[in-house]
Amino acid sequence: EGAPILAMTASFQRAERGFEHQDGLGPLARGLPAPEALPTLADRFAPHLAKVPPRLRQLYSAEANPLDLRPCEFVAPWDESVRAPRQAVWVRAKDPLPPGDEAVHQRLLTYFTDWALLGTALQPHPTAMWRRELQAASLSHSVTFHRPFRMDAWLCHVMRSPSASGGRGFALGEVWSEDGRLVASTSQEGLMRVRSTERDRPAG
């Protein structure tokens, strides 16, 4: 119907030498578990597939997803427990990727980092991503690439949410290589609105 569904701003730069620094510790240095010590996301979901809508089950099956996702802590999308606004997820492509095309790895990382950022902003609140009354949607998603990386090697997306207000949540992320290089930074603002229901209305 000709309706716009996406607006993107991109900037490009040729590789060049310059000042170098990074702040903070990599995932292993800060005490997060190594990816090999964690179950896959498919393993986490396997006992709960009856709770997953049929149209989404393929997304969470081991066979369908080309990425190996390993959350450091599994937060089920129906779990309304209150948690700190922080989480981390390891990721690696299941199959080797061809060498020499850095853009392929950047595109895959952009796709992956859209997953879980907004959920980080929901964690301090007694709600869940799959709550029927919750209206959640990405309003903006940005990725800044700092250093070369490969998606067929382990990367860890370390996320935190400094703020939620006015029906919107905001989250920041850092993407680290397993050997402690900061390869990208991310941010996302998203809609987090609970529709009014009989359960939510005050008595009287």
- C-alpha 123, offset from chain centre: 13
**Do 80 and 128 contact (CB within 8 A), yes or no?**
yes
Which is nearest to 146 in space by CA: 177, 120, 115?
A: 177
In the chain, count H helices and then E strands. Answer: 3, 6
177 is catalytic: no
**Active site residue: 87, 123, 177, 188, which one?**
188
Q: Which of 22, 106, 114, 187 is catalytic?
A: 114
140 labelled catalytic = no
58 is catalytic: no
Please tell me what DSSP assigns to residue 121: H
Greatest Cα-to-Cα distance within the chain, rounded to the nearest angstrom = 67
One of 58, 135, 138, 140 is an active-site residue; which one? 138
Catalytic residues: 114, 138, 188
